[in-house]
Chains A and B, each alone.
Chain A
Amino acid sequence: MNSLFSQDISRREALRLASGLGVSFLLPGLDLRAAEQRGTERPRSLITLWMAGGPSQLETWDPHPESKHGGPTRAIATTNPDLQIAHHLPQMAEQMHNLSVIRSLVSKEGDHERGTYFVQTGYRPETTVVHPSLGSILASQRPDDNVEIPMHVSLATGDGFVVPRGGYLGDEYDAFRIYDPGRNIRNMRQSVNDERQERRLTNLEVVSRTFRKGRERQVDDTLHQHVIERALTMMTSEQLKAFEIENEPKAVVDRYGDSRFGRGCLVARRLVQQGVRSIQVVLQGFDTHANNFEGHEIQCAQLDPAFAALVQDLEEHDLLQSTIVLCIGEFGRTPKINPLDGRDHWPQGFSCVVGGGGLRSGVIIGTTDPDRGAQEQNKPSTSHTGPHDPIQVPDLYATILTQMNVAPEEEIITPIGRPIALCEGTPIERLLG
């Protein structure tokens, strides 16, 4: 290191040195790390709580105890005087003033795989092109050089129906997946001591050099070396600690709940602190074709504490103003209760909760009528009345993108040569802050 501005010096070191020497004015354009910013100044992040399998709107955000299709679920008051939610979510009832509810989402995809694709990308599946998920769009359009860990992360994922993909934006925007958040940081640590790792890397350099000789252009095009370097940067990054929860106070860990989903929500908050742009936390098990009510009781016992703790925790860390939280699944469930005491797939009028990140809170959009829905259930979907004030999923995404300073209408030339807009929706004015 022979000069303060040599290329070897890392940005962070430069910033530290420069501020120590009182010459920070010499370093224009270096913005602060996200971790050092607070409140509304922070670049925004998105946390999506993905309810895999399709949660029942009637047992979560849109209870209808008055209806004969409402089942045993009761409605309870919340901190938003105009809003009642299912009795399975008492802790969330205390947080609803911070959030808004849409009860009239509509989709045409009633199959898990296709529905997941649609709700994660805002586009229906096509054979010619793979659309990027909302999280990948954000990671690609709002990059941050100060973040050394992946900008798009999926926590508590299982085999799931669809993993959030980078699609035509490139595989590098695929969500970085962690199966059991906070427990074991799979593959992120070197498996031998430093001395041997050093030897391994020197060995690697020697064999790579042989192969590269005469093939420089061809080998460099594969980005092999670049990707290895980025992986090594990440392996040695301080920010990797965001994936660990050992040092969190026990009370905090307990508040989120001891489940993969609960720990995932806690890790999500820690990743947001580091400036990670988009984090998905998955809660599986909503596909309640049988025993819907018991099933939702079990699901909500995980969702309720984790979601409530997350909102509260974000607020306490002054991160709620800069973090949009979205709770959504691939579709809702039928108003009619089937003979197995279950509910089936229902993409015509389902709910989501969204808030934070400067979005307006306390807004309630749309209403559903389970009695009419049940009547129309067996008819072709084209003749359904649908919910009142229907909201298209792309509109919700256009709202989130706009709030995160990404123009939804911006077109990207896809590998098939066809320009496609990041999102085809129109922002929902009622939600924009």
Chain B
Amino acid sequence: MKIKRLLPPLFVILGVALLTAIASSTAVREEQAVTMPASMDEFSAAVQAVDDELQRRWEEQGLSPAPAADDLQVLRRLSLALHGTIPSLEEIRLFEADERSDRLSRWTAMMLDDTRFSDYFAERLARSFVGVEEGQFVIFRRDRFTHWLREQLRPSAPEERRPYDAIVRDMIAGRGVWTGKGQVNFLTAGFANDDFDENKLTARTVRAFLGQRIDCAQCHDHPYDTWTQDQFEGLAAHYGQVGLTLAGLQDEPGHLFDLPSESASLLVDGDVTEELRQTFREHDHNLRKFAAIKVVRDDSLWLFKDSDESAEGLEPHYIARRTPDGLSVSSSEGEYLVEDRETLEQRLIDPAVPFHSEWLGTEGSRRDRLAVWVTHPKNKRFERAIANRVWGLLFGRPFLSDRHVDDLPSPEQEEYADDTRVLDILGRDFREHNCDLRRLIQVITATRSFRMDSIATTDDSYEIDAARQSWAVFPITRRRPEQVVGAILQANSIKTIDQNSHLFVRFRRFISEQEFVNEYGDLGENELEDRAGTISQALLRMNGKFAREMTSEEAFSAPGRIAGYSSTPEKLLENCFLACLTRRPTPEESAHFLPQLQGEEGHQKGVVQDIYWALFNSPEF
């Protein structure tokens, strides 16, 4: 009887123990269903198209491409580009156990399905959309923006993925409160000196989404390109109605009321007549009875200024336009006025686009219409821009590596057709696949260039430069700060640090990353610029708190654990190299390091730590 009563709880305990054992013995990553491209043939064709185009270029320039890189090195590149860190020892073991011929493509897909990808890539892309400054906290919340962007990038099932063009339209046309609707922060980031800065938003829109720089046209016509100041202002006028209300960011209603054509005769230069004031007051009760009003005339439109104190310092109030039926009066809040830099007079700018106005949307606000134009399927700049940026994030430098990532030539410029052909191939595939960012990444990372060694086939300086320009060798670039700290933290742990890690580990990663990036210096939205390191950075890597902590031989750190479980000095050295550099030591390196780990010296404190230190500070790390 007694035993029978004890059985149920005993089963529960046994059951739990069994389940835990199963759960802990199953490597979660080992046999995950990964989201591979639907049609592999078609996918391979897309990759081949890029490879063929580059091959053509190499032949034309007489370049011989670098040989294929070792699979482990490609895995390291993928991990740094998609997760901002290096593979853990645990991942390396699993990868090496995977003997399928397409393991790199499978692992790419698996990494894209990992939430570390959406977290990391959202931050990278956010830099081009809203920069890195925290800005005016009250109406700009960068954390809400990146959170929103992460959510957009997260779904992995192809049918649930959000197309990139839809994400962009959400940003340009967003409205509401910035804390609830993350995308609105794209617009509130453009708030400076107590006002929305249409110029900043316009420059940002063209740079981030169209990959071009028209900022200089803000003050004068672009010196080298075809952009004019008029074009800039016309684009900026699309943001002219953005305003703050109790319901968050909204477009100010431009139009106020209409007046019959007789009223037009009342409009003369100078002070307004009493009659006109009365007419206006009938329609707008907010207009004060004794407001000083002045009419500034400019052909068919009139600018009314209003002030409470004196005739000086009048502020724009109404805009009246002549229409076939009379006058259409709108509030200056809903219009885009620009002070002329030369004459200091105010000019009214109507929204316009520099080319193909037929692409503009036909419905909604000015911003809704602009959003459709920017992402229009025929607007080649749009897909080129994202292809170039994603290429840059994967390789460390943009496809057109001698230009800024957001300074692409115009599609009309025939002389650049050869240079940009790869971007167009990638762009077309991107459009044909529902503007799917993951697909774009999969295609680029499967190209021959991405899987190539960084050792050039020549030692001729000129040819190396040419090979780098044409992607005939994998480029060596400086790691970005978040990659440096991500790699240091991962190398210090045998298990993968991801969403399955203990909360404490993840918290520590978060704090360490913030602190390190702050001290290391952050290039912000210019992170794809090629810059040399600084002395402060070298000092931080060699002597900083992170280097000290991370190379400690505590029982729980990787150096400590590796030293603990590696059966032989050879194994120990191999594990250190794999954990830090994702490769095994060369014979020359073994000859140097092994004596340190053998015999008397091997038991000295700090030997493993000093190996780790050297690996952290090497140019390869």
Please give the residue numbers on chain A whose beta carbons come within 8 Å of chain B beta carbons, in ascending order.
109-111, 113-114, 126-128, 130, 150, 159, 170-172, 174, 176-177, 186-192, 196, 199-200, 202-204, 206-212, 214-219, 221-225, 227-228, 230-231, 234-235, 379-380, 382-383, 415-418
A208 nearest in chain B by CB position: B618
B529: A residues at CB distance < 8 A = 415
Whether the pair B617, A204 counts as a contact (CB closer than 8 A) is yes
Complex Cα gap A417–B403 (Å): 10
Given contacts A203-B593, A416-B404, contact A218 B476 (CB under 8 A): yes
Q: Give the interface segment out of B25-33, B46-54, B174-182, B542-550.
A: B542-550
Q: 18 A-B Cβ contacts within 8 A?
A: A127-B203, A128-B215, A150-B535, A174-B534, A176-B536, A199-B610, A203-B611, A206-B614, A207-B620, A208-B620, A217-B459, A218-B456, A218-B468, A231-B538, A231-B542, A382-B344, A383-B313, A417-B224
B532: A residues at CB distance < 8 A = 170-172, 222-223, 227
Whether the pair A222, B475 counts as a contact (CB closer than 8 A) is no
Apart from A203-B613, A208-B620: 9 A-B pairs, beta carbons within 8 A: A171-B534, A172-B532, A174-B536, A207-B615, A210-B588, A215-B454, A225-B619, A228-B617, A231-B542
Complex Cα gap A222–B223 (Å): 32
Whether the pair B456, A207 counts as a contact (CB closer than 8 A) is no
Whether the pair A191, B548 counts as a contact (CB closer than 8 A) is yes
B223: A residues at CB distance < 8 A = 418
Tell me if B592 counts as interface (CB < 8 A to partner A): yes
Whether the pair A111, B543 counts as a contact (CB closer than 8 A) is no
Given contacts A190-B542, A192-B606, A231-B538, contact A206 B588 (CB under 8 A): yes
Sorting the interface of chain B by its residue count into under 10, 10 to 19, 20 to 34 or 35 or more gives: 35 or more
Whether the pair A203, B610 counts as a contact (CB closer than 8 A) is yes
Q: Chain B 571-589 against A: per-residue CB contact (8 Å), 1 yes, 0 no?
A: 0000000000100001011
Please pick, from A172, A192, A383, A415, the residue contacting B535 in the complex, using a CB distance under 8 A.
A172
Whether the pair B534, A196 counts as a contact (CB closer than 8 A) is no
Whether the pair A217, B203 counts as a contact (CB closer than 8 A) is no
Tell me if B127 counts as interface (CB < 8 A to partner A): no
A206: B residues at CB distance < 8 A = 588-589, 592-593, 614
B461: A residues at CB distance < 8 A = 217
Complex Cα gap A130–B544 (Å): 28
Please give the residue numbers on chain B whose beta carbons come within 8 Å of chain A beta carbons, in ascending order.
133, 135-136, 192-194, 200, 203-204, 207, 213, 215-216, 223-224, 312-313, 315, 339, 344, 404, 407, 454-456, 459, 461, 464, 468, 473, 475-478, 518, 521, 523, 526, 529, 531-540, 542-544, 547-548, 581, 586, 588-589, 592-593, 596, 606, 610-611, 613-615, 617-620
**Which of B215, B536, B547 gathers most chain A CB within 10 Å?**
B536
A235: B residues at CB distance < 8 A = 539, 543
Whether the pair A224, B456 counts as a contact (CB closer than 8 A) is no
Complex Cα gap A224–B476 (Å): 11
Complex Cα gap A109–B619 (Å): 42
Given contacts A171-B521, A380-B313, contact A218 B216 (CB under 8 A): no
Complex Cα gap A207–B223 (Å): 48
Whether the pair A207, B455 counts as a contact (CB closer than 8 A) is no
B615: A residues at CB distance < 8 A = 207
**Which of A109, A110, A127, A176 gathers most chain B CB within 10 Å?**
A127
Whether the pair A172, B313 counts as a contact (CB closer than 8 A) is no
Complex Cα gap A159–B533 (Å): 21
A208: B residues at CB distance < 8 A = 618-620
Whether the pair A218, B475 counts as a contact (CB closer than 8 A) is yes
Looking at the assembled complex, report how far the CB atom of B355 sits from the nearest CB atom of chain A, in whole angstroms.
21
